Structure 1
């Protein structure tokens, strides 16, 4: 198959490229030239946000386009309209953030979503992703648009910093503030499993919305952090600390302590991120590797970079300040 990916040089886009190349697909990567494209692809350069930025896409035909854009929906709209007559299927990598707040525990693809517009400029993330979905639907219709509502994404090439922060912190050793309870359930998707599902779903001609993340309780906070210890070979001591102690210290779940959300204290947020129904994607072939594989491979990738992960400029830096951690631990 012939794949056009809009982006394709970082995180999710790169994983999709690698998956498609592994299947022997012909891959064209359209990007701004800020990062080197993977080997084995055809490269087209352009900036989607600039006047005439899509000029390199004026010609050409592809079986499928994959778009991971997460800002102004009008950018998705312009690309989708330009390609509608020359591409078979539009795969838009959206987010479970499109569900109206607060989403119920076990929310699925039929749950209410936020309002959005394909013509919108810069809007909050949930509305941006919903607007991107509507842009794909407007140009390609219900039968040719696949909406991939991803959950928390981690794994090699991560440029948000969540799993890399935990790996680097535990590798540093010493007493580590481990947010309890240890058995807090986690739900996420390894970027490579997401990419594999996207590629095979496109190949099968699937359409419509799919929640794509592991089953709820795929792992726990304890299993994740202990896997970090094994992967790094660290002698760090995980000090499991009650959520009330952490919250009383002014520490923010998700940002200061990435991935973690206290289930009892913040049930709505925990349900939104770690309580998504994925029956539809599982029935359509979704398979998720064990947490140890994700953690070990991410650490190997980090080591190949000298331990310094990339960081998206449009996302905040995550992680707990060492001074605050030490204060809570009493040292």
Structure 2
């Protein structure tokens, strides 16, 4: 059955392949965003240009879309406005949350949707949790919460900082940092693989008033991820392992992405979403997962190779001081 779908966002890291998948499934798709991304939308998609906080946003309710997919709301005030706008005016409201909401450290090494949403380290995750609670308390809105984990398309998976700078450091034969001993399992999912079960949740009665994560079933240790990136770039990774607590002392802003996310094991049980949206598979080799991000990286570096700056100076200092430990 063809549905009328609105993507709020629709051109981002995760949302663009979801738009493509929805179009391929025969749905009538509209996207609402600022219209500033260079990537062309698939044929047949209606572009609605506007600001998330703009007065024109409320006009979207008049269309009474079958599904509204909210990809760019990050704070409770944004979701509170969505509840006001779309309650009673859409068949299903899908909020993109984050798998980083799950408790840190997890009480069990395999994460399910029953894992509590408690993250005391990262304001980003805390805001997503607050958004989820607003939806759970809402009236007259059929909501679904979706929690992606680390999902890749254009950006390379690194633990902190700017991925293009880290890649440039690899290409220049300079050391890069991995938090911990590099053996922590981490889940990487391609956006195109995420899109299949995501679209399978559209107007699915079993998806209403419930939360699901959508991730790869397979995890990779961080050392292997970084070595694969370097190998695909044609160089050798020069990894320096640094304890997470030490990194946070160098830069307190890293407490969120490290202590609040990538410093922990991330292995997910996807059986819940598979029972509702149907079975799906994800690319299970790093070469396949990283192929598209590497291609995008090469295009960016050809157009604008990032210069050395303060981030490089900090990474150099950390690597130098960590490598000097234990020397006579």
TM-score tier by shorter-chain length is 0.7 to 0.9
Contact 1:7–1:68 (Cα < 8 Å) also in 2: yes
Q: Size of the alignment, in residue pairs?
A: 305
Q: Which residue is 1:281 aligned to?
A: 273
TM-score (norm 1): 0.74
Q: Secondary structure at the match of 1:187?
A: strand
Distance in structure 2 (CA, Å) of the matches to 1:27 and 1:165:
36
Q: CA deviation at 1:29?
A: 0.7
Distance in structure 2 (CA, Å) of the matches to 1:14 and 1:297:
14
Question: For 1:281-319, what per-residue CA distance to the aligned partner results, in whole angstroms no more than 9, with x for missing partners?
Answer: 35443422132222121010122234579xxxxxxx899
Distance in structure 2 (CA, Å) of the matches to 1:2 and 1:191:
22
* Structure 1 unpaired stretches of 5+: 116-122, 310-316
Q: Which residue is 1:127 aligned to?
A: 126
Q: CA deviation at 1:204?
A: 4.3
Q: Which residue is 1:74 aligned to?
A: 77
Give the 3 Å change call, closer, same or farther, for CA 181–253 of structure 1 in structure 2: farther
Distance in structure 2 (CA, Å) of the matches to 1:75 and 1:24:
30
Give the 3 Å change call, closer, same or farther, for CA 297–197 of structure 1 in structure 2: same
Q: Secondary structure at the match of 2:146?
A: strand
* Structure 2 unpaired stretches of 5+: 305-310
Of residues 209, 212, 216 in structure 2, which corresponds to 1:210? Answer: 212
Give the 3 Å change call, closer, same or farther, for CA 12–224 of structure 1 in structure 2: same
Give the 3 Å change call, closer, same or farther, for CA 254–182 of structure 1 in structure 2: farther
Q: CA deviation at 1:108?
A: 2.2
Greater alpha carbon shift after TM alignment, 100-109 vs 66-75? 100-109
Q: Which residue is 1:304 aligned to?
A: 299
Q: Secondary structure at the match of 2:74?
A: coil
Distance in structure 1 (CA, Å) of the matches to 2:161 and 2:151:
11
Give the 3 Å change call, closer, same or farther, for CA 177–88 of structure 1 in structure 2: closer
Structural RMSD (CA): 4.0
Q: Which residue is 1:172 aligned to?
A: 172
Distance in structure 2 (CA, Å) of the matches to 1:113 and 1:101:
9
Structure 1 position 21 matched with structure 2 position 29: no
Q: CA deviation at 1:38?
A: 3.5
Q: Which residue is 2:186 aligned to?
A: 186
Question: For 1:76-102, what per-residue CA distance to the aligned partner results, in whole angstroms no more than 9, with x for missing partners?
Answer: 232233223332211111112333554
Distance in structure 2 (CA, Å) of the matches to 1:103 and 1:91:
25
Q: Which residue is 2:14 aligned to?
A: 12
Distance in structure 2 (CA, Å) of the matches to 1:245 and 1:129:
23
Q: CA deviation at 1:270?
A: 6.2
Contact 1:183–1:221 (Cα < 8 Å) also in 2: yes
Distance in structure 2 (CA, Å) of the matches to 1:276 and 1:71:
23
Q: Which residue is 1:33 aligned to?
A: 35
Structure 1 position 294 matched with structure 2 position 285: no
Distance in structure 2 (CA, Å) of the matches to 1:130 and 1:60:
29
Distance in structure 1 (CA, Å) of the matches to 2:112 and 2:269:
5
Q: Which residue is 2:308 aligned to?
A: none
